[in-house]
Amino acid sequence: MSEPSRTVVDALEPWPDTVAWRPVSPKLIIVELIGLGAWIAFLVAGLSVGWVIGGQSWWPIAIAAVVLLGVWRAVIEARAVGAWGYAERDKDLLVRHGLLVRHLSIVPYARMQYVDVTAGPLERAFGLATVQLHTAAAASDARIPGLPPDEASRLRDRLTALGEDRAEGL
Amino acid sequence: MAAAPGDAPGEPPPAAAAGLESRQRLHPLSPLLNGAKSIVVIIAALSWQTYGQLGAAHFAIVVAVLAVGVVIFSAVGWWNTGYHVVGRELRIAEGLVWRRNRAIPLDRLQAVELRRPLLAQLTGLAELRLEVVGGGKTEAPLAYLTVREAAILRERLLALSGRTPAPHPGATTADPAAHAAAPPAEAPLYRVRNQDLLISQLLTPQALFLPVGIAWVSTQFLMEGSWTFIGIASTVTAMAGVLLQPIRRVLQDWNFRAAHDQDRRLVLHYGLLETRNQVVPLHRVQTVRVIWPLLWRRKRWLNLRLDIAGYSGPEPGDDKSSDRLMPVGDIGTARALVAAVLPGVDLATLATSPPPARARWLHPFALRFHGAGLTPDVFVSRWGRVTRELSMVPYARLQSVRVVQGPLQRRLGLATVYADTAGGRAGIARDRDLAEAWALAEQLAVRARQARGLTTAPPATGPATPPPVPVASASPPAPVPPGAVAPGAIAPAGWYPPSGPGAPDDEAYWQRPSPS
Query: At which of B183, B207, B234 does a domain end?
Result: B183
Is residue B198 pLDDT above 60, yes or no?
Answer: yes
Task: Check if A44 contacts B (Cβ < 8 Å).
Answer: no
Last residue of a domain, one of B183, B207, B226: B183
Interface test with B, best of A94, A104, A112, A159 (most B CBs within 10 A): A104
State residue A106 phi and psi, 5-degree precision. -115, 110
How far is B73 from B96, CA to CA, in rounded Å?
10
What are the chain B neighbours of A168 within 8 Å (beta carbons)? 452, 456
Percent of chain A scored above 90 by pLDDT? Answer: 44
Asked if residue B385 belongs to a domain, the reply is yes
Q: Which range, of A97-101, B30-34, B206-210, B305-309, averages the lowest pLDDT?
A: B206-210
Identify the band that residue B16 occupies on the pLDDT scale cut at 50, 70 and 90: very low
d(Cα B491, Cα A166) in Å, to the nearest integer?
Answer: 39
CB contact under 8 A, A141 and B402: yes
Residue B442 vs residue B311, higher pLDDT? B442
Same domain, B312 and B174: no
Residue span of the structural domain in which B396 resides? 279-442+492-509
The total domain count for chain A is 2
Listed in sequence order, the residues at least 6 apart from B326 whose beta carbon sits closer than 8 Å to its beta carbon are: B190, B192, B256, B258, B302, B303, B304, B333, B334, B337
Beta strand B398-405 with B302-308 is unpaired
**Nearest of A139, A104, A143, A134 to residue A19 by alpha carbon:** A104
Minimal Cβ distance to B400: which of A5, A14, A111: A111
**How far off is chain B from A155, nearest CA to CA, in Å?**
18
A-B contacts (CB, under 8 Å)? 120
When mean pLDDT is compared across B11-25, B266-280, B319-333, the lowest value belongs to B11-25
B170 and B283 share one domain:
no
Q: Are residues A66 and A113 in the same domain?
A: no
Residue B54 lies in a domain: no
CA distance A2 to A13: 17
C-alpha distance from residue B399 to each of B284, B287, B373 (Å): 13, 12, 18
Q: What pLDDT was estimated at residue B380?
A: 94
**Domain end point (choices B183, B208, B236):** B183
Q: Does a structural domain hold residue A18?
A: no
Q: Give the number of domains in chain B.
A: 2
Which residue range(s) make up the domain with A100?
A: 85-165
Q: Are residues B505 and B356 in the same domain?
A: yes
Interhelix angle B245-253/B194-202, rounded to 10 degrees, is: 160
| pLDDT band at residue B101 using 50, 70 and 90 as cut-offs | confident
- Considering the domain boundaries, does residue B438 fall inside one? yes
CATH number of the domain enclosing A153: 2.30.29
Q: For residue A91, is it within any domain?
A: yes
Let me know whether A46 and A64 are in one domain: yes
Same structural domain, A93 and A116: yes
In a domain, A117, yes or no: yes
Q: Taking residues B328-335, what's their average pLDDT?
A: 91
Question: Last residue of some domain: A48, A80, A112?
Answer: A80
Cβ–Cβ contact B458 with A under 8 A: no
- Does one domain contain both B291 and B424? yes
**Residue A22 within a domain:** no
Q: How many Å separate Cα B385 from the centre of its chain?
A: 24
> Domain check: are B289 and B431 in the same one?
yes
Boundary of a domain, candidates A49, A65, A80: A80
Q: Is residue B284 located within the same domain as residue B176?
A: no
Rounded-to-integer distance, Cα B409 and Cα A11, Å:
11
* Three-state secondary-structure class, residue B51: helix
% of chain B beyond a pLDDT of 90: 21
Question: Residue B366: what pLDDT?
Answer: 84
pLDDT 10s digits, B246-265:
888 888 889 999 999 888 88
> Can you point out the beta strands (E) in B235-341?
257-260, 266-270, 275-280, 285-292, 302-308, 324-329
What are the φ/ψ torsions at residue B87 (nearest 5 degrees)?
55, -125
pLDDT at residue B483 greater than cutoff 60: no
Which stretches of B109-193 are DSSP H helices?
A: 118-123, 147-161, 176-181
In a domain, B61, yes or no: no
User: Following CA atoms B40, B43, B48, B53 in sequence, which dihedral angle do they give, to the nearest 10 degrees?
Assistant: -170
Q: Does B420 touch chain A (CB under 8 A)?
A: yes
Same domain? For B437 and B299 the reply is yes
* pTM of structure: 0.76
Q: How far is residue B256's CA from residue B191's CA, in Å, rounded to a whole number?
A: 6
Residue-level length of chain B:
516
The answer to whether residue A8 sits within a structural domain is no
Q: Does residue A114 share a domain with residue A66?
A: no
CA angle, B381 then B386 then B390, to 5°: 20
CB–CB of B266/B340 below 8 Å? yes
Confidence of residue B416 (pLDDT cuts 50, 70, 90): very high
Q: Answer whether A8 sits within 8 Å of B407, measured CB to CB.
A: no
pLDDT for B170 beyond 50: no
Bridge partners of B391? B289, B381
Amino acid letter, residue B359? A
Q: What is the pLDDT of residues B56-87, one digit of tens each?
A: 788 888 888 888 888 888 888 888 888 988 88
Domain shared by A103 and A151, yes or no: yes
| A98 lies in the same domain as A148 | yes
Residues A152 and A105 occupy one common structural domain? yes
pLDDT for A144 equals 93
Contact A66, A51 (CB under 8 A): no
Do B170 and B292 reside in the same domain of the chain? no
User: Of A106, A114, A132, which to mutate for an interface test with B (greatest number of B Cβ within 10 Å)?
Assistant: A106
More confident residue, B299 or B5: B299
Distance from CA of B177 to the nearest CA of A (A): 28
Cβ–Cβ under 8 Å, residues B399 and A137: yes
Contact B263, B370 (CB under 8 A): no
DSSP state of A20: -
Distance from A55 to chain B by nearest Cα, in Å?
39
**Dist. CA B230–CA B221, nearest whole Å:** 12
Q: Please report whether residue A10 resides in a domain.
A: no
pLDDT digits over A76-131, tens only? Answer: 989 999 889 999 988 889 999 988 899 999 998 888 888 889 998 989 999 999 99
Is the CB of residue A107 less than 8 Å away from at least one CB of chain B? Answer: yes
Size of chain A, expressed as the number of residues it contains = 170
Q: For chain B, positions 317-356, list CB contacts with chain A under 8 A.
A: none
pLDDT tops 80 at residue B233: no
With respect to residue A15, please indicate whether it lies within any of the assigned structural domains: no
The rounded mean pLDDT for chain B is: 75
